[in-house]
Structure 1
Amino acid sequence: MKKLSFYDNKNVIAERLRYYREQKGLNQEQLAARLQTMNVNIDQQMISRIERNQRLVTDYELACLCIALDITVRDLLSDFFDKYAEKG
């Protein structure tokens, strides 16, 4: 089985996700509940794993996280763009 990672990261949104979730005053369970209302099968433990960079994030999960947090994809990917845009 192929191991999916990017510079040893399972995802590139871990830190920004925690930052915006906390900025919005949400705990992991509340964020998971918002996602579940959008038919995204994610629970608190999965949010925790994403924030600890231990779980991949799919494209639709990324989009729904942005909607649930009322932020843009660019907001959530800002660390990635700041770090890697110049290398491109």
Structure 2
Amino acid sequence: MFVIKGNICADRVRLGRALQQPPITQEELAMKIQLLGFEDMTKLIISRIEKNQRHVCDAELRVLAKALNVSMEWLVGDVNIFE
């Protein structure tokens, strides 16, 4: 059986927030995601994602990438932002 604890995007979500100009808070990211149609996204959920305490489904990964203005590939660590 294949089991993954947490998620693979925790560090990149945190880094993506820090790279915004100006950097944004977890609450600001949650608000951006809510404006994109994911009304259930909260600061607590962002915090749990960044602490690797919550799985991220594919639809959430897509909206996280859109809100942070990065690719899904970057968000999961498949590409470097500086490539």
TM-score, L = length of structure 1: 0.79
2:21 aligned with 1:22: no
- The gaps in structure 2 that reach 5 residues or longer are none
Q: Which has the larger radius of gyration?
A: 1
- Across the aligned residues of Structure 1 and Structure 2, the Cα RMSD in angstroms comes to 1.6
Question: 1:86 maps to which residue?
Answer: none
**% of aligned pairs identical?**
35
| Number of residue-to-residue matches in the alignment | 75
Judge conservation of contact 1:14–1:52 (CA < 8 Å) in 2: yes
Which stretches of structure 1, 4 residues or more, deviate above 2 A after TM superposition? none
| Cα pair distance change 1:5/1:45, threshold 3 Å | farther
2:62 aligned with 1:54: no
CA drift of 1:5 comes to 4.2
After superposition, residues 54-73 of structure 1 pair within 5 angstroms as 54-73=53-72
- The gaps in structure 1 that reach 5 residues or longer are 83-88
TM-score, L = length of structure 2: 0.83
